[in-house]
Amino acid sequence: MSKYGIGQPVLRFEDPRLLRGQGRYISDVNLPGQAYAIFVRSPHAHANIRSIDVEAAQKAPGVLAVYTGHDVKADGLGMPKANMPRKRPDGKPMYAPQRPPLIVDRVRYVGDPVAMVIAETLAEAKDAAELVHVDYEAIPSVTLTEDTVKPGAPAVWDDCPDNISNFIERGNKAATEEAFQGAARVIKRRYVITRVHAQYMEPRGTLGVYDPGEDRMTLYADVQYPHRVRNMLAQNVFKVPESKMRVIAGDVGGGFGTKGWQYVEHRLTLWAARKLLRPVKWTCERSEAVMADEHGRDNVGEIELALDKDNKFLALRLNMLANIGAYVGSDRNLLSPFGMIGTVVGVYAIPKAYINVIGVLSNTNPTAPYRGAGRPEAIYLIERLIDDAARELGVDRVELRRKNMLSEAALPYQSPVGPYYDCGKFEQNLDMALKLADVAGYEARKAESTKRGRLRGLGIINAIEQAAGTAQPEYAEIRFNPGGTAALLMGTKNQGQGHETMFKQILNERLGIDPGDVQFIDGDTDRVAFGMGTNGSRSTVLGGSALFMAAGKVIEKGKRLAGHMLEAGEQDIEFADGIFKVAGTDKTVTLKQVAMAAFAPAKWPKGFEGGLYENATYLGEKDTYPNGCHICELEIDPDTGDVTVDRYAVVDDVGTVMNPTGLKGQIHGGVAQGIGQILCEQVIWDRKSGQLMTASFLDYAMPHAKMIPNMEVKSNPVPTKFNPLGAKGAGEAGTVGAMPVVMNAVIDALAPLGVTDVLMPATAQNVWRAIEQAKAR
């Protein structure tokens, strides 16, 4: 059975049922007597609500109720809030406006919900929603990040006229300024990282249920943190004991961070179900998703690099505006720009650094973690700057990186802005990637492209990310059945990454259990005792480590029973590959036999507690730092600006590799999302009117298969010592490297024409404009 263990390229156990249409997504969950909800959303980015007339909608066929913010207020529903200790630059407390479930007086972004219509059928709910009349008074709005802090910009909230919510500082400002004053050269650039939407396979949905007999609510939802959602709803919204709230998350058609937390639709469907005494379901329309969901990225960074006369890095300085949208509904809205920017120093020895990030409010959807959650932005900034520095200094970009790279001997390394890199082989990653990508043959390929009238560009970047944060623990439970099979219950939540396969591999490695004898359970707060969910590449590192520890407890308890069964002392029992053995003999008993005996009292030693079910809660010692090197080659048609990614190579270090096949899939998916952001994806509002311009796939451009090249992926694992598995995390590594390497390749291709920057995304139109502007200069 070793073929199933850690490091084996096991095919995913989940895939057969999912490919056969046997998954159970939120759209598949339906209950007898359920009603259907539709939300009336603001068409304005900023407007006062003069009145809401629901009379016609209430009289429409099949309508059960029409609710507004006044109804919610009357019932006293609570609102979650941000708790991170933050202040404004003027020293005042953070300005963090909470998010009401339905708006009463003023809408603050396109999509802000103002009414909820519930009817017997979905069609009737849609028809009635059209009859809700809202009298809006449109007022000036601000949607572009750089505009939020300009003099005279419209205030999103009247009592926060400068639109500044909060800020953080990292590093030593005085020491950094001193280093810049003594520098031989200073390279300064301004980079804009645009806003995107997750655009998962299945849009969000929720089904709220109330049981009056138990006075208990159940929420079916496609969330990434079921237990945290339950806790938030119970403690902060409905103010009931957690025992009165259950959250069930089945299969999730993609999450990427955007489905992580508690949305207003969750509390409203539960609230309506309790009022109407019947289940209430809401399913987000694809054309509604960009208006209804939280978004990702969206910041502007001014970054500077100080170098000495030998081109050694002396210091780095970053001042960044991070757009957090109209509301700060929880700490989620602060995580990406503030929690993950520390890796902006990359894999380089930069002795002094200072970071200042200002969170600004705007008339847009709140932003929150999206695959990478701040780490792709950090590496984008440093790796773009190094390429620009190399061009300005007239030096080789690879050698500039190599000269300033942290050596293996320099690790562990305490970064001047917080992160603690414990291990890695950064230069070896680079060397392996240069060979894997055949960079030596690049000039010949470039010449061939030139013959065809194409511009060829090469991007080479080093990436590192902060993953598996140690602020929150994770839970695992192994529960054997009397027949010797087992249930595996995890506090993480699978959303397409292949958790079932990976966790069964760990269990097989540790206990020798055939995966076919294991039932995998997650996503149900009644079945799984505890969990913090899935985000930040934490599931393998923290969930896997909790499982490793729980398995250890099974072995220890099993040794006692096995010793009794084999008539030997517990201390003489060895365990390997699912078999207990008396040391130095051929006397053995299988784990399955021991598990069965654990439920047969006649086979117990005196004082033995029957049953075999063990759990563990694991809190990591330190954060982990997956890293790697990405190399991209692409071609550009100078007449049209069209970009074609031709070659892509990755060397990654995610620590111990659980499953090479699954890892490659994670890298491929992450790279695809990075390519999508750089080449085509963007949420756009009209700068003057605030109208949302990219509400559907007619206008929001998604990457097509033809845009994604074949990828060469090779691992260079350096296991960390900070968790028992040696894992570092893999889910976001592809995106962290893809964003900077693709844009650097675009700029490299255009540099001979005098192009120094291209608006993100590098669409054919934006690239063509950059070429034409360079010609004009």
Q: In Å, what is the CA distance from 611 to each residue of 419, 639, 701?
A: 44, 72, 55
pTM value? 0.96
- What's the order of all strands across the beta sheet hosting 643-653? 455-464, 627-636, 643-653, 711-715
* Beta pairing class for 474-480 and 643-653: unpaired
Q: In Å, what is the CA distance from 460 to each residue of 309, 398, 400?
A: 24, 8, 12
Exposure of 374 by Cβ count < 10 A (0-12 exposed, 13-18 middle, 19+ buried)? buried
Region of residue 270 (left: phi > 0; alpha: psi -120 to 50; beta: else): alpha
Give yes or no for a cis peptide into 761 (omega within 30° of 0).
yes
pLDDT in tens, 135-157: 999 999 999 999 999 999 999 99
pLDDT in tens, 594-620: 999 999 999 999 999 999 999 999 999
pLDDT band at 701; cut points 50, 70, 90: very high
Distance CA 707, CA 350 (A): 36
Residue with tokens 């007619």: 698
* Beta pairing class for 352-361 and 518-521: unpaired
End-to-end CA distance of the chain: 67
Say if CB 722 and CB 622 are below 8 A apart: yes
Say if CB 742 and CB 645 are below 8 A apart: yes
Q: What is 274-321 written as a DSSP string?
A: HHHTS-EEEE--HHHHHHHS-BEEEEEEEEEEEE-TT--EEEEEEEEE
Distance CA 384, CA 555 (A): 50
**Percentage of residues of the chain with pLDDT beyond 90:** 95
pLDDT band at 3; cut points 50, 70, 90: confident
Q: Does residue 339 have a pLDDT over 90? A: no
**618's tokens:** 């694991």
Mean pLDDT score, 558-570: 95
Mean pLDDT score, 316-320: 97
Distance CA 342, CA 464 (A): 10
Mean pLDDT value across the chain: 96
Closest among 710, 662, 632 to 12, alpha carbons compared = 662
Residue with tokens 């910009």: 153
Q: What is 605-652 written as a DSSP string?
A: PTTPPP--EEEEEE--SS-B--EEEEEEEEEE-TTT--EEEEEEEEEE
Q: In Å, what is the CA distance from 451 to each residue of 72, 315, 446?
A: 67, 42, 9
pLDDT in tens, 400-444: 999 999 999 999 999 999 999 999 999 999 999 999 999 999 999
pLDDT band at 2; cut points 50, 70, 90: low
pLDDT in tens, 352-366: 999 999 999 999 999
**462's tokens:** 């080093």
Say if CB 411 and CB 392 are below 8 A apart: no
Mean pLDDT score, 377-404: 98
Amino acid at the residue 665: G
* 491 Cβ contact list (under 8 Å, min separation 6): 227, 474, 475, 476, 522, 528, 529, 530, 531, 532, 533, 543, 546
Q: Does residue 101 have a pLDDT over 70? A: yes
Mean pLDDT score, 195-222: 97
- Contacts made by residues 748-754, CB under 8 angstroms, sequence distance 24+: 748/387, 748/457, 748/458, 748/459, 749/455, 749/456, 749/457, 749/634, 749/635, 749/636, 750/455, 750/457, 750/636, 750/774, 751/391, 751/457, 752/455, 753/455, 753/638
Exposure of 212 by Cβ count < 10 A (0-12 exposed, 13-18 middle, 19+ buried)? exposed
- What's the order of all strands across the beta sheet hosting 296-307? 164-171, 352-361, 313-325, 296-307, 185-196
Angle at 413 between CA 409 and CA 415, to 5 degrees: 145
Q: Rounded to 5, what percent of the chain is helix, strand, coil?
A: 35, 25, 40
Radius of gyration of the chain (CA): 28
Closest among 670, 630, 620 to 464, alpha carbons compared = 630
Closest among 444, 426, 429, 433 to 649, alpha carbons compared = 433
Supply the pLDDT for residue 1: 45
Question: What DSSP element (H or E) covers 449?
Answer: helix 442-451
**728's tokens:** 């570092």
Distance CA 535, CA 258 (A): 10
Supply the pLDDT for residue 471: 81
pLDDT in tens, 727-775: 999 999 999 999 999 999 999 999 999 999 999 999 999 999 999 999 9
Distance CA 149, CA 131 (A): 38
Paired strand residues for 316 = 305, 353
CA atoms within 13 A on the CB side of 708: 19
CA atoms within 13 A on the CB side of 630: 31
Closest among 410, 304, 418 to 348, alpha carbons compared = 410
Q: In Å, what is the CA distance from 125 to each residue of 40, 114, 699?
A: 10, 15, 27
Say if CB 758 and CB 750 are below 8 A apart: yes
Q: In Å, what is the CA distance from 427 to each residue of 231, 626, 650, 726?
A: 45, 14, 14, 20
**255's tokens:** 């999450």
DSSP class of 692: B
Give yes or no for a cis peptide into 16 (omega within 30° of 0).
no
pLDDT in tens, 630-654: 999 999 999 999 999 999 999 999 9
- Contacts made by residues 147-151, CB under 8 angstroms, sequence distance 24+: 147/687, 148/321, 148/323, 148/360, 148/361, 148/362, 149/321, 149/358, 149/360
3-state secondary structure of 231: helix
